[in-house]
Amino acid sequence: MKGEKGSNKGGVFFPIFSAKMLYFFSRLFSAGRGSTWPGEIALRIRKDFVRRVAERNRQLKTVFVIGTNGKTTSSKLLAHVLRKSGTGVFSNDSGANLLNGVASALIKHANLSGRINEQAAVFEIDENALPHVVRQIRPSAILALDLFRDQLDRYGEVDAITARWKKVFAELPAGTILVLNGQDPAIFYLGQNVPHLSVHYFGLPKETLYEKSAALDADSVFCPNCSARLHFSALAYSHIGIFRCPKCGLDNSRSSEDLSEKMENPLRGLFNRYNLSGAMLAAEAVFGISPVKFARFLEGFRPSFGRQEKIEYQGRNFILQLSKNPVGFNRSLDLLEDAREPVENVLVILNDNIPDGRDVSWIWDVEFERLIARAGRIWVSGLRAYDLAVRLKYAVREVFVPEEWHETAEKKILVEENMDKMLEKIMQASKPGDTINVLPVYSAMLALRKKLSGKTFK
């Protein structure tokens, strides 16, 4: 096309220059870290900006990390190991996982002509945004972690996301590498009908899966091939496990590989064992990094912001564990149950901002009865604090059967909508050295983290 030759470098110079200036001034005036707006500006100038930059950097091995839970942790695991291995790598590590976040990451690492020096990019991609991002940048590989119900008002049911991903996978170029959780029925099935792709499955050994029946938060309990009810011989949690369809014979019992079995996991929780296993398999399949080297390169890894992150504030230890949907929240409760020390203070923050989803009915699928039984005091805050308080009072009636205990049990539930005021109350009621376990939704995690540490992310 006319005007896309010479110094303009195919139309990317002006978008990159404009976006870099925005990024510079946003940092200069402390107006944010520029995780989305530089990309938004570039995309408004050129709708195909990401595609044009990608075409200039064909040497770049790009890995997309997708799924409902674990994207940020798995992306950071993979990027950390690649960096330690000597591979130049960058990512959208702020969690900006829409197309504008990907564009911002490209802008940050590109020169004015659109050239990038790094050899690899690891992008976490919002599950609903995957079709839009793939239209502009074709990944070398996709790491798919799991699919659970999340923000139903935005995404719809799990089946709707699965259908979109199926179409994306069918249209990927031959040879694209798929690293799939072979113990999530929907994701396992997505890898069964793409012979033009290089498919690898990860999972955990059967002996490490201790649940015998699907929990209330399970979604994929019917066969994705014939719709018959699946038979699970072992489950890790929710619908993640070993299954077989008695009608059509779909069987995942021998499909998955666990490369993490003989190494120590730097993160707590069985769900993080899946994140580690997937990242290890992706590192080997895409970059040729053996499990032995992966384990060595993992040294020094720290959790991502808001994921088992510990922040000291005025002598108190706040431990943040993002809890944004039923399965994720229940895994956070697993961590509290596994804690050796008493769980005296738990702060739960529920918002209904855009990043969280407007529909908060999902709290009725969280096993709050376990929290009532385990925690000393439960501090409830956020824009939907009273919705959460109602759910907790129902949990009290499940846990404490004699009615005369209800009033006493409910007194340990303390409600304050305003997060700043709640923080003041917690400080007054606690003493230096106390631990405050925080289970926040996404927007609450960012706001509280900024309050505690002055940072929005690392």
pLDDT of the residue at 458: 42
pLDDT of the residue at 457: 45
Residue 64: CB atoms within 10 A of its CB come to 25
Higher local confidence (pLDDT), 456 or 353: 353
pLDDT of the residue at 290: 94
Amino acid at 281: L
pLDDT digits (tens, 9 = 90+) for 143-177: 999 999 887 666 778 889 999 999 999 999 999 99
pLDDT of the residue at 210: 83
pLDDT of the residue at 448: 95
Mean of the per-residue pLDDT values of the chain: 89
Q: What is the pTM of this model?
A: 0.91
pLDDT of the residue at 377: 93
Residue 241's pLDDT band, with cuts at 50, 70 and 90, is very high
**Distance between CA atoms of 62 and 440, rounded to whole angstroms?**
31
pLDDT of the residue at 261: 76
DSSP secondary structure letter of residue 220: -
For the chain, give the percent of residues with pLDDT over 70: 92
Residue 31's pLDDT band, with cuts at 50, 70 and 90, is low
Q: Which residues, in sequence order, are bridge partners of residue 229?
A: 222
pLDDT of the residue at 311: 94
pLDDT digits (tens, 9 = 90+) for 179-196: 999 999 999 999 998 999
- Which tokens is 164 given? 């979109």
Residue 75's pLDDT band, with cuts at 50, 70 and 90, is very high
Segment 317-323 mean pLDDT: 95
pLDDT digits (tens, 9 = 90+) for 348-361: 999 999 889 899 99
pLDDT at 369 over 70: yes
Segment 289-298 mean pLDDT: 94
Contact 179, 142 (CB under 8 A): yes
All domains of the chain in start order, with CATH: 11-297 (3.40.1190.10), 309-453 (3.90.190.20)
Residue 30's pLDDT band, with cuts at 50, 70 and 90, is low
> Would residue 231 be called left, alpha or beta, if left means φ above 0 and alpha means ψ between -120 and 50 degrees?
beta
pLDDT digits (tens, 9 = 90+) for 77-100: 999 999 999 999 999 977 789 999
pLDDT at 6 over 70: no
Q: Spell out a b/e string for 321-348, using b for 16 or more CB atoms within 10 Å of the CB, else e.
A: bbbbbbbbbbbbbbbbeeeeeebebbbb
pLDDT of the residue at 339: 81
pLDDT of the residue at 28: 61
pLDDT of the residue at 8: 44
Contact 328, 72 (CB under 8 A): no
Lowest average pLDDT, out of 50-64, 151-165, 231-245, 371-385, goes to: 151-165
- Which tokens is 103 given? 């564009």
Contacts of 154 (CB under 8 A, 6+ apart): 128, 357
State which H helix or E strand residue 430 sits in.
none
- Which tokens is 98 given? 């829409």
Higher local confidence (pLDDT), 403 or 437: 437
**Distance between CA atoms of 398 and 387, rounded to whole angstroms?**
17
Contacts of 78 (CB under 8 A, 6+ apart): 63, 65, 122, 143, 279, 282, 283
Contact 109, 56 (CB under 8 A): no
Residue 390's pLDDT band, with cuts at 50, 70 and 90, is very high
Segment 405-427 mean pLDDT: 87
Segment 236-243 mean pLDDT: 95
pLDDT at 233 over 80: yes
pLDDT of the residue at 4: 40
